[in-house]
Amino acid sequence: MEQEKAAEILTDNIKNIFAFSLSRLYNKSEAEDLTNDIIYEVLKCAHQLRNEDAFYSFMWRIAENTFKKHIRKSNIRTMEFDDNFVGTYWETPEEEYLKSEQLNLLRRELSLLTKQYRETTIAYYIYGKSCSEISTSFGISIEMVKYYLFKTRKILKEGICMSREFGKKSYDPGIFRMDFWGGGDNTCYWQLFNRKLPGNIVLSAYHAPVTIQELSTELGVAVVYLEDEIELLLKHDIIKKIGDKYQTDIIIFTEEYEKELTNKIRPVYEKAAERFDKKLSEVLPALESLDFKGNDYNRNRLKWTFANLTMVFALNLSDEIERKRFGDYPPLSNGSYGFIFGYDNDYRYHHFNGLYIQCENDEHTAYFSVENYRIIEKCQFWKPRNWNQSVKAMCDAILEKSADTDNEMLISLIEEGFISSKNGNLSAAFPVFSAETLSDTIWPLLKPLAEDICQSMIEICDIAAQILKDFIPRALRDKTEQLAFIHHQLDVMAFIIETMVKEKRLALPENNEKPCVFGVIK
């Protein structure tokens, strides 16, 4: 091989050679010297190489040999001895290095063993137990113990000879965020993903099944620590086992998918927003003239109220269609029902900070709905820190009851501007309708608008379902249509509201108004 060609390749790989040197010596100055020595030796020997395709293996072999020469040179040992000296032996620096390398490789491979192989091997070699003792301790036959030990030796021998590299997620964890849609208590699922590791297991096993050893090297986590996490994910049907491999069993709405979808559906919701604004403007005077608490609010705020109310009506219609089309939600591992799904980003494509629809008090005398569109998060963000007390305080305000001084959420909700208190009596800081007004007057006026929005929801959800199939594993495609429907019907509400704000058909509140909260007295 010509020296000029070798020099060109070396120039492109100086950073890699320096990284090699630094990883061995942990000293920048010494690493620079070793890098220079490696480059010199490669250039000196380049003419011996006949096959240019073998250059990289040739270069790294010389790098390893040059490193060994370097540590021998820098660790020469001297000793004095008298006339009675017969002879002695000590390990050379090279031998010490090789021994430590072998020990590290052995530890690496032990960390990748699955539970039965790992525990048997440690019991036999580390704690010195006999095969019969291990058989009794683990409740398996002596023949099985011997098989595990034989198999482990083979696995370790093969593994030590392999080159393994930790995956990107070992130093740069991915982002996984969970979501839930359904009924019942879902606390256990949120708690499960409070840590990075379960989410990164789900991301790593999404597109194809992987072994626990492959997860270990990708995540940089020993198998012994992964086993408990995997058991939890299996228990809650987040992943499934396929032979000796694992694969994620929930849909992840990826960033690539969201970008593709946005371009396809924009014309649909922009036209829907235009139609909706025109129809809402036509019926708004009739709505403003109705008798309800809050009918004295300014026109922009009332427009927000009835625009949002139409979205909730449309969502109810869409839910009915979805239930008829797909049936009831499937049962979940904790006894509740619905869907667990996720995102590979930090809720970047979310349009809500939560929806709380028809939150009813224990007496069933009042309820309220809160739609936290992100576009209004500066003035409205209702999130119950104590569900029962939050709902009770809001409904008490709707009913204008006396303040319950034992309710810990009362002061927070007053400070946040959702309710007010005067002379010990509560009042809602949002529109309140009677159930009769809502059903007999408002619903007939808004029904045609809600039906049009509902049709847009269905159209967009059907588009989303088709696109989603190209971004998820084949095994999850049977869930595509229903989950796309569940997820994106909500988005349509936000798409239309955001479009109306963008086109100045709705103005963002400038104060602490709560434009998308309404209460109902039953």
Instruction: Give the pLDDT confidence of 428-458 residue by residue, as tens digits.
Output: 999 999 999 999 999 999 999 999 999 999 9
Query: What does the longest C-alpha to C-alpha distance in the chain come to?
Result: 118
Range 454-492 burial, b when 16+ CB lie within 10 A, else e: bbbbbebbebbbebbeebbbeebeebbbbbbbbbbbbbb
Rounded to whole angstroms, how far apart are CA atoms 519 and 265? 32
* Cβ atoms of 409 and 395 closer than 8 Å: no
**Domain boundary pick from 116, 139, 160:** 160
* Cβ atoms of 121 and 131 closer than 8 Å: no
Q: What CATH number did the domain enclosing 10 receive?
A: 1.10.1740.10
- What is the average pLDDT across 477-502? 93
Q: How confident is the model at residue 12 (pLDDT cuts 50, 70, 90)?
A: confident
Convert the pLDDT of each residue in 373-412 to its tens digit. 999 999 999 988 899 999 999 999 999 999 998 999 999 9
Question: Helix count (H) and strand count (E) of the chain?
Answer: 19, 12
Convert the pLDDT of each residue in 149-196 to its tens digit. 888 777 777 666 665 666 777 777 889 999 998 887 788 899 999 888
80 within some domain: no
* Cβ atoms of 435 and 419 closer than 8 Å: no
For the CA atoms of 182, 187, 193, 198, the dihedral, rounded to the nearest 10 degrees, stands at -90
Structural domain including 241 reads: 168-250
79 within some domain: no
Q: Are residues 383 and 514 in the same domain?
A: yes
Q: Are residues 8 and 154 in the same domain?
A: no
For the CA atoms of 346, 352, 358, 363, the dihedral, rounded to the nearest 10 degrees, stands at 60
Q: Are residues 436 and 368 in the same domain?
A: yes
3-state helix, strand, coil in the chain (%, to 5): 60, 10, 30
Q: How many Cα atoms occupy the beta-carbon half-sphere of 436 within 13 Å?
A: 1
Is residue 296 predicted with pLDDT exceeding 90? Answer: yes
Q: Are residues 507 and 483 in the same domain?
A: yes
The type of residue at 234 is L
What's the domain count of the chain? 4
Q: What CATH number did the domain enclosing 119 receive?
A: 1.10.10.10
**Cross-strand bridge partners of residue 426:** 421
Pairing of strands 210-211, 245-248: antiparallel
Q: Are residues 36 and 103 in the same domain?
A: no
How many other CB atoms sit within 10 Å of the CB of residue 32?
14
Go through the chain and tell me how many residues it has.
522
Q: Are residues 351 and 388 in the same domain?
A: yes
Q: How many Cα atoms occupy the beta-carbon half-sphere of 445 within 13 Å?
A: 19
Rounded to whole angstroms, how far apart are CA atoms 426 and 160? 72
Q: Are residues 172 and 148 in the same domain?
A: no
143 within some domain: yes
**Domain boundary pick from 250, 284, 316:** 250
82 within some domain: no
81 within some domain: no
* Cβ atoms of 248 and 208 closer than 8 Å: no
Structure tokens at 138: 């683990």
Q: Are residues 266 and 182 in the same domain?
A: no
86 within some domain: no
Q: Are residues 142 and 291 in the same domain?
A: no
Position with higher pLDDT, 366 vs 119: 366
pLDDT at residue number 161: 65
Q: Are residues 501 and 358 in the same domain?
A: yes
Position with higher pLDDT, 10 vs 175: 175
**Cross-strand bridge partners of residue 341:** 179
Phi then psi for residue 356, to 5 deg, are -130, 95
Q: Are residues 264 and 376 in the same domain?
A: yes
DSSP 40: H
**Domain boundary pick from 221, 250, 279:** 250
Q: How confident is the model at residue 77 (pLDDT cuts 50, 70, 90)?
A: very low
The type of residue at 183 is G
Q: Are residues 172 and 154 in the same domain?
A: no
440 within some domain: yes
289 within some domain: yes
Rounded to whole angstroms, how far apart are CA atoms 512 and 502? 20
Q: How confident is the model at residue 86 (pLDDT cuts 50, 70, 90)?
A: very low
- What is the average pLDDT across 227-236? 93
Rounded to whole angstroms, how far apart are CA atoms 23 and 30? 11
